[in-house]
Amino acid sequence: RVDYTPVLTQSPRLEGQTTASTFVLDQPRCVFEEYGTADIWLVVALEQAVSTFNNSAGPGTPNTSFQSFPDPVRAYMTLNATLANYPCPKAAGDITVLRVGSETSCIGDGTRPSCNGPLPGPGPYRVKFLALQGSEPVAETHWSDQIKLKTAQSPGSISTTGSGHSGGMIAITTILSILLAILLAGLVAMLVFWGSDLCGGSSTFSKPESVAVRRYNTHHVYDQPAARL
C-alpha cells in the first residue's frame, strides 16, 4: 500500500468539484513511480463495499462493470492510465485532475465495462487507485473519505412565501405599485375628460348671422342728343 489518499480537487480555477452525477479528483502524481509498467485504475465503491472489495476481481469483468453498478455490482473500475499520463513532477500551472462520471455515450454499452459513466445517486462513495501488473495487483492507495454528490431540490420543496426577499425590497415594491396605480387612474380620468369635452363641442353650432344685401337701382345712362348749336 502506498501512502496516498485520493482527495477532491481544491483547485480554485476549477468549478463543479461535485455535481449531481460527477466529482473531480486530483491526479495521483508522483505516487506510483516504482511501478513504471503498471496500469493504474480508479476503483469507485459504495461505502458499504469498501471492506469487501477484492483487488483481484480485475477490470473489464462482470464483477467490476459500470453497467451493473450499484446493484448487483457495488464497486467498479474505471479511468485506467499509465505513468505516462501522470508525469512527475507536474508542470507549473497545469490543472491535473480527473472528472469521475463524465462519459455518457457508454452508459448502456456492455462492451465497455470500464465506462466512466455518471454516478447513479448522491452516494456516499469512496475511491482508491489500484496499480495492476497485467492482472496482478501490485500497489494500492488508501480509500478516500466519503464523497457525497449534490442533490437536486424538488419543486415541491421550494418556498413560495418570498422569504428570500428583504423587507426593504418588499416595501419598495409596494410603494412603486401604489404610485403606478395612481398614475394609471389619473391617465384614465384625463382621457375621460377629454373625450366628454370633444363630444359636447361637436353638438352645438352657432347660427351664422344673416347678411342683408341692400338693393340699389342703377341709373341708366341714356345717350343724350347732341347739343344743339
Cβ-based neighbour number of residue 101 at 10 Å? 23
Query: In this model, does residue 171 exceed pLDDT 90?
Result: no
Query: In this model, does residue 161 exceed pLDDT 80?
Result: no
* Residue listed under C-alpha cell 454528490: 149
Cβ-based neighbour number of residue 108 at 10 Å? 9
Average pLDDT, the chain: 83
* Residue listed under C-alpha cell 375621460: 192
Q: How far is CA 50 from the centre of its chain?
A: 34
Query: In this model, does residue 229 exceed pLDDT 50?
Result: no
Q: What amino acid occupies position 179?
A: L
- Reported as a single tens digit per residue, the pLDDT across 18-73 is 999 999 999 999 999 999 899 999 999 999 999 999 999 989 999 999 999 999 99
Report the percentage of the chain scoring pLDDT > 70: 77
Peptide bond into 87 cis (omega under 30): no
pLDDT given at position 228: 46
**Residue 17, phi-psi category: left (phi > 0), alpha (psi -120 to 50), beta (remainder):** alpha
Give how far Cα 166 sits from Cα of 163, 172, 174, 179, Å. 8, 10, 13, 20
Domain boundaries, the chain: 23-151
According to DSSP, residue 49 is labeled G
Query: In this model, does residue 201 exceed pLDDT 50?
Result: yes
